[in-house]
Structure 1
Amino acid sequence: MMFTSSTVGGVFRCSAIAQRKNGDKAERGFPEFLPVEIERVRDRATRRMAQRIERLPVKTSLLENCILSSCVKPLQRTGGRPVVLLHGFDSSCLEWRYTFPLLEDAGLETWAVDVLGWGFSDLEQLPPCNATSKREHLYQFFRSYITRPLVLVGASLGAAVAIDFAVNYPEFVSELVLIDASVYAEGTGRLSRLPRPMAYTGVSLLKSIPLRLVASLGMYNNSSLSTIVDRTSVSLLHCLLPWWDDATVDFMLSGGYNVIADINQVKQKTLIIWGEDDRIISSKFAKKLHQDIPNSILHMIPDCGHVPHIEKPNAVASLILDFVCKKGATQQIPELRKESYRPDLDTPLHIL
């Protein structure tokens, strides 16, 4: 099945804006729209991924102008089912810096797309950043650039984004992959009722270094302090963009994602991946999700916390490859590289 886009003309009309605002890569080798603090990150996988981030114009009903939307595109289109990676809450496509290259090297057409309101998109003119707007933005992005059914992969809150999209646009999603899925929360709950000034105060704490470090300590299993510090630096990069506070407050006050009622409507075959030692979302929810999605497979990853795609990227990539291949891939998938894909910390670390 192929999809055609009624917005293609709009995308072309936006191309001049994209060229002006994307700019060429700066001499430092990174896109000019990335914060200069990317230079302080020493992890080579992060730096390689960051160098490939670009902004593509996406025409939506949310704004008169196109939204210059950040993503990492595949190096080549394979003709097979594309794999699209969605990051978690308040994150960016850099979350996939270890798993993305493994999938790409194995021959899959792999995309990492920033969810509207997070990541590195140009939101100088801020659209609504609620769940409905995020869904429309993904819909228009997929219509404009991918144009055929895809394997949608969501991690943590990205799993809720993926379920929401798959239920509303089932023709676009051939299979789902949900990683340590945050899908049983009732949105942002009481936070949605905060007065706006208090919401801004709370959001400002999200980008504080101490809070991020504490959160990172809870996310990872058996990681060194130096590794956690570098991962914290990466997790803060998108927060340095000038519209981050406004976009995050808008999402919080909108109520966020509540997909509890949508879970049993998922019809796609679904792969559920979960870190056995997840201290953020208990593995008991993995078993519940497996029960609630009838056509699902559950794989637990031992000695792993909340973000297997960062801690155990080889295991995650192998599971995704096996899942996609068994669904009838026509090409021969090369074996994954044997060595562990791990952060390369060859120079002193600096916190942002």
Structure 2
Amino acid sequence: MPVLTGAGFKVYVFDLLGYGLSERPRNPEVDMSVSGQVPVLEGLMTLRGLKEAHVVSHEIGGDVAQRFCVFSPSRVRSLTLIDVVSFDALPSRRTREQMQEGLELFVGKPDGEHREHFREWLLSTVSNKRHLSESALDTYFDFVSCPVGQASLFQHQVGRCDHRQAEEVADRLSELGEMPVQIVRSEDDQWQVVAWAHKPHDAIPNSELHVLNECGHFAMEDKPTEVGQLLVSFRATHCR
């Protein structure tokens, strides 16, 4: 973030509905799937008076961004996909194992047991585990702990992992070749392995692919400066 604001960009950051600091709707019928998140993104841009923007996305947010860019390309100046899901990449091996065990089992675990389980899960997202432990780890815990956060993690997030919505737009990814697109992948990503980056890279004409060394799935935690520099240089080159 400091790299972007230091380069003169105004940055808007939001959590998907049901994630992070965003609301967790009480009504289970509220659509918090990938397709349901697209109008939330569009509504946020409208609320902020943004006719168009550089879209930067991570993980499942990349699935949302791909759909948004396919259906509303006029509102996108450029697209950056960081360790994102695409095609049939969801659910990841770890998530699939949890779904097979039964998510209600994890919803009902005591807080201490849940935190220990999630600690190991979170630390698998980075190469520099010590740095995450000493910095943002507790913040991530706070988002997904307590009765509301713990239930939301498995019911709204893990439980919504479905590759079918990504595959719905897979045949249209070639249309994104009309806009600047860069794909950033982490060499040590245990959730979305680096080899999977070639599918969207091959599907999107003229897209650029960058691989970050010694970096895990949470690239912004492992390599924040490098990610920021990639974003700034990409815009300087393609979006004058």
TM-score, normalized by the shorter chain, greater than 0.5? yes
Could you say what secondary structure the match of 2:181 adopts? strand
Paired amino acid for 2:3: L
Map 1:98-247 to 2 at 5 A. 100-123=1-24, 125-126=26-27, 127-185=30-88, 187-188=90-91, 198-203=102-107, 208-224=114-130, 227-228=132-133, 230-240=135-145, 243-244=148-149, 245-246=151-152
Could you say what secondary structure the match of 2:13 adopts? strand
Structure 1 Cα separation of the partners of residues 12 and 70 of structure 2: 21
- Say if 1:186 and 1:264 are closer, same or farther in 2 by CA, change over 3 A: same
Could you say what secondary structure the match of 2:129 adopts? coil
Paired amino acid for 1:174: R
- Say if 1:172 and 1:318 are closer, same or farther in 2 by CA, change over 3 A: same
Alignment TM-score, normalising by the size of structure 2:
0.80
Structure 2 Cα separation of the partners of residues 107 and 131 of structure 1: 31
Residue 300 of structure 1: aligned partner:
211
Per-residue CA deviation, residues 62-93 of structure 1 (Å, 9 max, x unaligned), is xxxxxxxxxxxxxxxxxxxxxxxxxxxxxxxx
Structure 2 Cα separation of the partners of residues 253 and 120 of structure 1: 18
Structure 1 Cα separation of the partners of residues 123 and 4 of structure 2: 27
Equivalent residue for 2:197, pick from 286, 299, 307: 286
Per-residue CA deviation, residues 148-203 of structure 1 (Å, 9 max, x unaligned), is 11111111222112112211222222211011122243655997xx79xx433334
Structure 1 spans left out of the alignment, 5+ residues? 1-99, 330-352
Structure 2 Cα separation of the partners of residues 178 and 303 of structure 1: 18
Asked if 1 retains the 8 angstrom alpha-carbon contact of 2:128 and 2:222, the reply is no
Structure 2 spans left out of the alignment, 5+ residues? none
Asked if 2 retains the 8 angstrom alpha-carbon contact of 1:213 and 1:228, the reply is no
Give the Å deviation of 1:235.
1.2
Give the Å deviation of 1:104.
1.1
Task: Decide which structure has greater helix share.
Answer: 2
Asked if 2 retains the 8 angstrom alpha-carbon contact of 1:163 and 1:263, the reply is no
**Aligned sequence identity (%):** 21
Across the aligned residues of Structure 1 and Structure 2, the Cα RMSD in angstroms comes to 2.9
- Say if 1:156 and 1:123 are closer, same or farther in 2 by CA, change over 3 A: closer
- Say if 1:183 and 1:228 are closer, same or farther in 2 by CA, change over 3 A: farther
Equivalent residue for 2:223, pick from 302, 309, 312: 312
- Say if 1:242 and 1:149 are closer, same or farther in 2 by CA, change over 3 A: farther
Larger C-alpha radius of gyration, 1 or 2? 1
Give the Å deviation of 1:112.
0.7
Asked if 1 retains the 8 angstrom alpha-carbon contact of 2:24 and 2:152, the reply is no
- Say if 1:218 and 1:153 are closer, same or farther in 2 by CA, change over 3 A: same
Give the Å deviation of 1:316.
0.6
- Say if 1:233 and 1:286 are closer, same or farther in 2 by CA, change over 3 A: same
Higher relative contact order (CA 8 A, sep 6+): 2
Asked if 2 retains the 8 angstrom alpha-carbon contact of 1:213 and 1:229, the reply is no
**Count of aligned pairs:** 224
Map 1:254-273 to 2 at 5 A. 256=162, 258-266=165-173, 267=176, 268-273=179-184
Structure 2 Cα separation of the partners of residues 125 and 216 of structure 1: 26
Asked if 2 retains the 8 angstrom alpha-carbon contact of 1:220 and 1:306, the reply is yes
Residue 49 of structure 1: aligned partner:
none
Give the Å deviation of 1:318.
0.6
